[in-house]
Structure formats: C-alpha cells, structure tokens
Amino acid sequence: MITLEPPRSLDGEATPWLKLGLSASGLARFVNRARAAVGLEGEVHVLLTGDATLRRLNRQFRGKNTATDVLSFPALQSGAGVAGDLAISLEAAERQAVRFGHSLRDEVRVLLLHGVLHLAGFDHETDSGEMAAREAQLRQELGLETSLIARATQTGIATKADSSAVLRNDKLENKQRRNAGVLRLRAARSAQDDRQKIFAQDDRLKKRVGA
C-alpha cells in the first residue's frame, strides 16, 4: 500500500501524484517485484511524505534529530501478513535526484529497494558490505539505470552514498546551527552582563553625586 502525504511544497495541489510525476500503482508494482527478488514475505506499507515527518520519525524511533531520505520499520510480529513499513522523504529524494541527474521516480525506486532490503534483515551500518553488494545486484535485476548501480560502489566502501552523504551533511549543518546558537546566546549574555555593569556603575555614580 502506497500512501502519499504531500510535503508542504505541494500544499493545495489538486493532483499531487501528477505534479510529482509518480504513480501509486507503478510504485506498488515495483515494491512487489523488490519483495519477490529479496524473498521478503508480507505486505509493505509505504508513506511518501516530507523532511519534517522523516525528521520527527527519526527523532522518535532512532533518537536522531535530523531528516533523512528513507526509514524502515520491520513488523513487530512475523506471520501477520505485513513485512513492515517504509517512510520516504520526497523532498530529500528530489534533492538527490537532481544531484545524481535522474528522475524523482528513479530515486524513489532506489530508496524503496534500499528500504525493502532493511525489512529483509540487511543492515549496511553493521555488515561488511553485504547489503550494498546485494543492493547493486538487485538494481540490475530490477532494471534500474546503470548509473544508479555505480552509485552504490563509487565511494570505495560498499554503502549507499546518497543517504550517507545526506546524513553527514545534516549532522554537520545541525552542529553548525547548534554552535551558532551557542555563540549567539553567549554574545547575548555578554551584552546583558555589560549592560548590568554599566547600570551598576551609573547607580554608584548617582549615589556619590547625591551624597
């Protein structure tokens, strides 16, 4: 099942699917092909949304207060007919599509495949490259463009370059924002202390004059 929660950039859009150039039925067929290729049993529910929702989910379930491109949530109980849920940021997908020179549709399919692999138990953060190797193989089997397959290995380490880069950039930007906030707070406190010192000096001067 594919659910579209249009990001803020599409507020008021009467035909968001058409505007995005995406097809719910087409993406559902791709998810089913990916499930079959991976050997994943059960239905996969997909939420297509924006950065704000991915950030909230990432913070709530992973303790990371940053937006990302795709999150995977395996089903808590096996055998219930549901393999798990995927959440994809269309805003992050659009940025990555522009960066790598292909369509939003292709980028969403890349993220869907990546998410399905996570639901099947793969984890590129803890393995020795098995997930990235399997992902590259499946991209070819599922008819994705060659440039997308090369993207998985061009970093020299078998990881998904786009997601890792976005996460690294987000962490750097968040660190810079936090540092800037600390500096602004320190500057404000310093200015406040200076003002208090000036007022205290004025009060002492007035008392001396009055005396």
Query: Minimum mean pLDDT among 18-32, 132-146, 176-190: which range?
Result: 176-190
CATH number of the domain residue 57 falls in: 3.40.390.30
Spell out the residues 6+ positions from residue 3 whose beta carbon is closer than 8 angstroms to its own. Answer: 45, 46, 47, 48
Q: How far, in Å, CA of 118 to CA of 123, rounded?
A: 6
In DSSP terms, 89 is beta-bridged to 49
Percent of the chain at pLDDT > 70 equals 67
Spell out the residues 6+ positions from residue 164 whose beta carbon is closer than 8 angstroms to its own. Answer: 155
Residue 153 domain flag: yes
Residue 33 domain flag: yes
Residue 56 domain flag: yes
Residue 209 domain flag: no
- The band of 46, judged by pLDDT with boundaries at 50, 70 and 90, is very high
Residue 12 domain flag: yes
User: pLDDT tens for residues 139-173?
Assistant: 889 988 754 444 645 644 333 333 433 333 344 34
Res 184: pLDDT: 35
Residue 188 domain flag: no
User: pLDDT tens for residues 87-132?
Assistant: 999 999 999 999 888 899 999 999 999 999 999 999 888 888 888 8
DSSP collapsed to 3 states, the chain: CEEECCCHHHCCCCCHHHHHCCCHHHHHHHHHHHHHHHCCCCEEEEEEECHHHHHHHHHHHHCCCCCCCEEEEECCCCCCCEEEEEEEEHHHHHHHHHHHCCCHHHHHHHHHHHHHHHHCCCCCCCCCCHHHHHHHHHHHHCCCCHHHHHHCCCCCCCCCHHHHHHHHHHHHHHHHHHHHHHHHHHHHHHHHHHHHHHHHHHHHHHHHHHC
pLDDT: is 89 or 133 the higher one?
A: 89
Amino acid letter at 16? P
**Tokens representing residue 132 in the block:** 């990235």
**Tokens representing residue 21 in the block:** 């150039």
Residue 187 domain flag: no
Q: Looking up tokens 């930007």, which residue turns up? A: 173
- The band of 203, judged by pLDDT with boundaries at 50, 70 and 90, is low
Mean of all residue pLDDT scores within the chain: 76
The Cβ of residue 86 has, within 10 Å, a number of other Cβ atoms equal to: 23
Res 171: pLDDT: 40
pLDDT at 11 over 50: yes
16-22 average pLDDT score: 94
9-24 average pLDDT score: 91
Q: How many domains does the chain have?
A: 1
Supply the range of the domain harboring residue 102. 2-159
Residue 175 domain flag: no
